A and B are shown apart, each in its own frame.
Chain A
């Protein structure tokens, strides 16, 4: 296995979680070869004939939006399966964006489809971060999730990433499947840590209505089991030198995902493609859900916006509280209701952050802090 290359850190020693003037771009690639049983997101397995037109439209939308954008500090190609489309198509979109120096450019990849050539193309076009959808390193857990890859494919994919010199690697893991024992969960983590990624996103399995997993209660995770596993995940990652900076995200010091941080700090970002979300100055809006409607709208020059919301100050405060509570930076320490006091701990600078137990109950805490007579945040 190739060793990880020397890290090129794009976030250049700024205050860890200050998103400042950062501006992100999310590009949605809604195509997959196979739909995972838990996935409720906008992606299709039968629309590969649309890929070329769709990606051209993304390029056109990027071009149209570029003039209104501040320097772009992060780009995230997500999906779907961005490595299902030709890297040149991603490059064409990227080429339209006014990138800031040292911008973080991430491509989300499905390990099944990662090739050394593909990774080289990514590296050549400026991609400096790869996020791999590993989900689990235990075969029977992977099949319980309806995933098609084997753990050995993950090893090959990681090798391919390292060989191109792309320095930042995230592994996505999912825990909580009823098929996954505590030992399976630990095994997965141990294996993932052993690859030496600088970032791990570890998500609890969420049954979404309308998905094969969501519609089968026997496959639903158990909350207590999830809580047990989460505590184990956090311990193992902390021990291995990763810091939790958001409920589901751990990174080596300095390797936080800059794009991810925008989400949790009410930062600004533009969405490109169908079903992509954007946020500018308190206004959140999102595009039409299907690639057909998206292509139609771009070609006819009409708006791709499907919906929006502008939060009133109170809603915006609650949102800020909810999001900031998820992060290690926490919220300003103010009156804390008794019943959640033991779910919070000091975070320095007169701030409070959630304990491990508290992170699992972040919404309860947010509601109670928002309700408390003096109001936090």
Chain B
């Protein structure tokens, strides 16, 4: 087509993979709170560097999973290679939720610096601060940026001095931009080149490449994001995955510009992707070190961890016949998310299902939503539980993540529960409200710091179990959405914990059992029995609903026997209407689970278990 003029190439050449000397490379992440504009900034960078032409911009290019778009958060890390004025920049996106802290730390391990992006109208948030501390601990360069300076409420001076106070970064170094209008973004790109050091790495050292994300693609198998630390990664290499122990052929190595583009090799400091014919992400988890199978490195890179599930729940198909579908769906989901654990369990009330473990509540919700949405399943989730450590009277330690498996009280010596160190940033006006909430959740305050006269950081030690219920919702509603939360795991603490059982018509229903603090047992018992009394329809006999600790009843409600289900006039010989009513009543019984003689609607399980929401 000789007559068509070539499109102007505004692309700032990023150089051919493998040939970019480490000196021209900059690897960075953007650390930001939800809604502080990370995705918009990423989009603007792609556009300014010419990686994506303006007219083909899909808003928020990097958040590609539907759920991520809907929730406005990043769950899976992405990365993109762009060129800027003779340099190669790798933008490594990090997950934005506390549930995915380990993933964040692995993404940061692939960087030499971070852009700290803060809303110029809101200031720094707890999560951002926590991730920023992670970056400081990892000795990363920090480029502080205030975003949304185009907003009328923006107060860049105030928040620049807050950054100086909190992080010890000179307020004069804080850049001011508007990712939306593009104002200041070029300066930011220049600052990234100037302030973030290039990667160091020895091309002649045996290969050490860090995997900081893996996802499963149904056509290509596992696709991993990698950062080469030392040595060179070539397409066709035989690779050893040092933690998982597998040996795989590098079928394809490449970079994302942002379209995946195969390359012959990646050199030290470069970031790209690796496809090695792996069928299960558990074989190529975040934190894995890849080396050459022929000339392997002596040791893997530091920092590998196997993130442990923190929150557990039972997942059961509403329709018991869908158990095999649920099993297959979980297996498929796990190919893409190795942090989900599941094993079969049986509930007297709910039948066959799975005990599933998650990194946190959000993770649990996301997994459940994906199972229902992507696999068309209808599920009952039991109340979230944490993993308790139980010392039996025989001196054995057992881990219990399902309340119904707690040994009888007589055989229990001590129960310990997982604790968190929680950091909450809030406007100081809400300090009292936040302290009330933490106190009511058995928290003990360890520290309180004023970041400015208007903003306070509160540090509490709180039981994980108290946080996984509705703590975050409560925090938000008590501070009109202004407080933010971050946490670290803080080991186990022995507590006066008891199991509250629920008995329907004198029979215990395992699905409703919960472990709680002795002081909370009575209110919990009252609440769950009252809720169930509301949800369970009247039967042909009185149904007592009791809450009990061991053999002791602590609360009781009764669903009085149904006395009437019929009595109406037969209008104009219309027998059909009467029969249809009967058929509806009959159909209704199919949506019930029989627990002993009591018919319990499926909705009752869902609603009763959402007691706290």
Contact = CB atoms under 8 A, between A and B. Distances in A.
A63 interface: no
A263 B574 CA distance: 8
Interface in B570-593: 570-576, 578-579, 581-583, 585-586, 589
Contacts of B541: 339
A343 B572 CA distance: 29
B563 A323 contact: no
B575 A284 contact: yes
A75 to B, nearest CB: 12
B564 interface: yes
B566 A361 contact: yes
A226 B573 contact: no
B568 A286 contact: no
B563 A279 contact: no
Interface in B95-130: none
A206 B564 contact: no
Contacts of B573: 26, 263, 269, 271, 276-279
Identify which of A28, A226, A277 gathers the most chain B CB atoms within 10 Å of its CB.
A277
B540 A364 contact: yes
B541 to A, nearest CB: 7
Interface string A265-281: 01001010001111100
Contact of B569 (A248, A279, A322, A363): A248
B589 A367 contact: yes
A122 B540 CA distance: 47
A269 B566 CA distance: 24
A323 B576 CA distance: 11
Interface in A246-305: 247-248, 263, 266, 269, 271, 275-279, 284, 286
Interface string B525-544: 00000000000000011000
A204 interface: yes
B564 A361 contact: yes
A362 B574 contact: no
Contact of B575 (A223, A277, A339): A277
Contact of B581 (A41, A279, A363, A364): A363
Contacts of B575: 263, 266, 277, 279, 284, 319, 323
Contacts of B579: 311, 315, 318-319, 322
B223 to A, nearest CB: 54
A326 B569 CA distance: 12
Nearest to B567: A204
A26 B582 contact: no
B572 A223 contact: no
B597 interface: yes
A357 interface: yes
A203 B569 contact: yes
A168 interface: no
Given A271-B573, A276-B572, A367-B586, A230 B540 contact: no
Nearest to A79: B572
Contacts of A26: 572-573
B562 interface: yes
Contact of A41 (B562, B567, B571, B586): B571
A35 to B, nearest CB: 14
A151 to B, nearest CB: 21
Contacts of B566: 247, 326, 359-363
A367 to B, nearest CB: 5
Nearest to B597: A339
A28 B573 CA distance: 10
Contact of A362 (B562, B565, B572): B565
Contacts of B581: 363
A318 B582 contact: yes
Interface string A336-376: 00011001000000000000010111111011001000000
A78 interface: yes
A106 to B, nearest CB: 13
Q: Which of B541, B567, B568, B571 has the largest count of A CB atoms less than 10 A from its CB? A: B567
A224 interface: yes
Nearest to B569: A203
B574 A364 contact: no
Nearest to B578: A322
A286 B540 CA distance: 35
Given A263-B573, A279-B573, 12 more contacts: A41-B572, A203-B569, A204-B564, A224-B560, A224-B564, A278-B573, A284-B575, A286-B574, A318-B583, A363-B565, A363-B585, A370-B586
28 contacts: A204-B564, A206-B568, A206-B569, A224-B560, A224-B564, A226-B567, A247-B566, A263-B570, A275-B572, A277-B574, A277-B576, A279-B573, A311-B579, A319-B575, A322-B578, A322-B579, A323-B575, A339-B541, A340-B540, A357-B563, A359-B566, A360-B565, A361-B540, A362-B566, A363-B585, A364-B565, A366-B582, A370-B586
